[in-house]
Structure 1
Amino acid sequence: MVNLNGSLLTEANSKLTVNNRGYNYGDALFETLKVVNGKIFFWEDHYFRLMSSMRILRMDIPMNFTMEFLEAQILKTLEANNLLQAAARVRLNVDRGVGGKYAPSKDAIVQYNISVEPHDNPFYTINTDAKYIVDLYKDYFVAPGLLSGLKSNNKAIQVIGSIYAKENDFENCLILNTNKSVIEALNGNLFLVKDGNIKTPPLEDGCLKGVMRKQILEILSKDVNITIEEASISPFELQKADELFITNVIKGIVSITKYRKKQFGNDFAQSLVKKLNAKLRLL
């Protein structure tokens, strides 16, 4: 069952009109959520990122779009799909409705839809036996700026980059901005570990304002023995790193095992995922 503006419908009956602005112009935003036993991981961060993004896109935020209302709609959708007492992946999509060309008409009203699917792991783990090989995706670049950090439906680079990765037997690719700095992976933020120091690209470089990125930075900031730096990463730094890992809300922490000819360990990432799971138990 899919939640379309509060109504629970089968997928067959939940079709959007071809005039939907999210479809026609990518005039839409989304949040990908992990929910376990009815608990939405980091829901407050997701909610405020969505509200901030809607303001940046100058969407009229409906009065009923409170944190409590949207949470209730997510839980209602999970219950309808028998996933309220399980681990699930949720997509909350917000679009500007129907009407207008590039400029929305006065009749365009913000809409939402929620879809859910089962997820196999309630907590975060690192598979130490799995290979995770990445490369740079250099066909297209991201322009630094506020819009690049939004979780919008304009994901052309991620789509064709994922096709490139699949065609070349990579698990993922790293994206560059127009300044040729590495900003993130196709589906998550990037962290670099070197001599016990941690580095991640700054939001100003054009990377996603990731919810898991925020959690990891908060965890790391509590360790006085760790130096954290939000600074641009050159492609030349990647092969000099001790570890590279990717973060997102669904998988948590994904260790990169190989980039080009360099093999990486994952000791730091393993210790970090334990701290992440400990934080979740306190939510």
Structure 2
Amino acid sequence: MINFNGELLFAENVKLSSENRGFKYGDSIFETVKVINKKVVFWEDHYFRLMASMRMLRMKIPMEFTLEFLEKEILKTVAVQDQAASYRVRLNIYRKDGGLYTPKTNKIDYLLEVNETSYQIKKEYNIDLYKDFYNYSGLLSTIKTNNRMINTLASIFADENDLDNCILLNERKGVVEVTNGNIFIIKDNIIKTPALTEGCIKGIVRKKVIEIISKNDTYKVEETVISPFEIQKADEVFITNAIIGIQPVTNYKKKSFKTEIGEKLANNLKIVQIAGN
């Protein structure tokens, strides 16, 4: 079942017009959240990121779009699915139909899709650089818009080359993120992740992992510029997103990595998820 503006419909009954602005102009944003045992994981963080994104893109936020309202809509949609312990929920928000580049209105429609998920951490995880196109740095790149052509092309490249993921670079050839999440590298007691000014998504799990590391005196976390050459010199590399949590990387080009710290952080993140936001 799909939640279309609060109405639960079978997927085949959801009709989007040829004037849909998400389709025609990518005039749309989305939020991907995980629901475990009827609990929306890190929902408050997702909600405030969503509100900030809507304001930045000059979308008119409906009065009813409270934290509690959207959480209720998510759980309502989850409740009519087949019973499972874990779900991946995508909340799509797009400006209402009409207009060319200039929209007729800044009012929005929304659509909620729910899929069962049971992601298992992979023991072998191979990544490499995607260098055909750049993910340009800047504030707009930190928002989860539907303009994801680079991610799509990089994912095709990964599939064609038997990779699990690809690293995206910005116009300065600095590391930005991977196709579906943020990236962290570990060297000695320093854990680095690209700064938001590099153009990476303002990931929720990225934020949580930084918080976890900051409370540990053993390691220092840095949000900074990262060169691809630093990856080859790293002791460990891992990626993060809302669904997988933390996935350690085992191979980059001819370099093999340990996974010990990444696995420990993954366990710490699960504790935070259970404890709540």
Query: Could you state the TM-score of these two structures normalised by the residue count of structure 1?
Result: 0.95
Give the drift of 1:142. 1.4
Give secondary structure in 2 for the equivalent of 1:111.
strand
Residue deviations 1:98-131 (CA, integer Å, cap 9, x gap): 011000113x53000001011125xxx644xx21
- Contact 1:98/1:109 (<8 A) preserved: no
- Contact 2:61/2:107 (<8 A) preserved: no
Residue number in structure 1 paired with 2:219: 226
Residue number in structure 1 paired with 2:109: 111
Give the drift of 1:278. 1.4
- Provide the rounded CA distance (Å) in 2 between the counterparts of 1:126 and 1:9: 33
Percent of paired sites with the same residue: 50
- Provide the rounded CA distance (Å) in 1 between the counterparts of 2:154 and 2:67: 34
- Provide the rounded CA distance (Å) in 1 between the counterparts of 2:30 and 2:274: 26
Residue deviations 1:193-220 (CA, integer Å, cap 9, x gap): 0012100000001000000000000101
- Provide the rounded CA distance (Å) in 2 between the counterparts of 1:208 and 1:172: 16
Query: Could you state the TM-score of these two structures normalised by the residue count of structure 2?
Result: 0.97
Residue number in structure 1 paired with 2:71: 71
The code of the aligned residue for 2:187 comes to K
Question: Number of aligned pairs?
Answer: 276
- Provide the rounded CA distance (Å) in 2 between the counterparts of 1:197 and 1:109: 45
Instruction: Give the 5 Å matches for 1:206-245.
Output: 206-245=199-238
- Provide the rounded CA distance (Å) in 2 between the counterparts of 1:131 and 1:18: 43
- Contact 2:91/2:113 (<8 A) preserved: yes
Residue number in structure 2 paired with 1:120: 118
Residue number in structure 2 paired with 1:96: 95
In the alignment, does 2:242 pair up with 1:249?
yes
- Provide the rounded CA distance (Å) in 1 between the counterparts of 2:275 and 2:245: 16
Residue number in structure 2 paired with 1:81: 81
The code of the aligned residue for 1:206 comes to G
Give the drift of 1:33. 0.7
Give the drift of 1:281. 2.2
- Provide the rounded CA distance (Å) in 1 between the counterparts of 2:271 and 2:128: 32
- Provide the rounded CA distance (Å) in 2 between the counterparts of 1:135 and 1:281: 33
- Provide the rounded CA distance (Å) in 2 between the counterparts of 1:236 and 1:282: 38
List gaps (5 residues or longer) in structure 2. none
- Provide the rounded CA distance (Å) in 2 between the counterparts of 1:15 and 1:219: 43
List gaps (5 residues or longer) in structure 1. none
The code of the aligned residue for 2:252 comes to Y
In the alignment, does 2:251 pair up with 1:282?
no
- Provide the rounded CA distance (Å) in 2 between the counterparts of 1:6 and 1:207: 31
Give the drift of 1:134. 0.7
Instruction: Give the 5 Å matches for 1:253-268.
Output: 253-268=246-261
- Provide the rounded CA distance (Å) in 1 between the counterparts of 2:15 and 2:118: 27
The code of the aligned residue for 2:96 comes to G
- Contact 1:89/1:119 (<8 A) preserved: yes
Residue number in structure 2 paired with 1:190: 183
Residue number in structure 1 paired with 2:28: 28
Give secondary structure in 2 for the equivalent of 1:142.
coil
Moved over 3 A (4+): none
241-250 or 85-94: bigger deviation:
85-94
RMSD (Å) for aligned C-alpha atoms: 1.1
1:176 to 165, 169, 181: 169
Instruction: Give the 5 Å matches for 1:126-205.
Output: 126-127=121-122, 130-205=123-198
Give secondary structure in 1 for the equivalent of 2:134.
strand
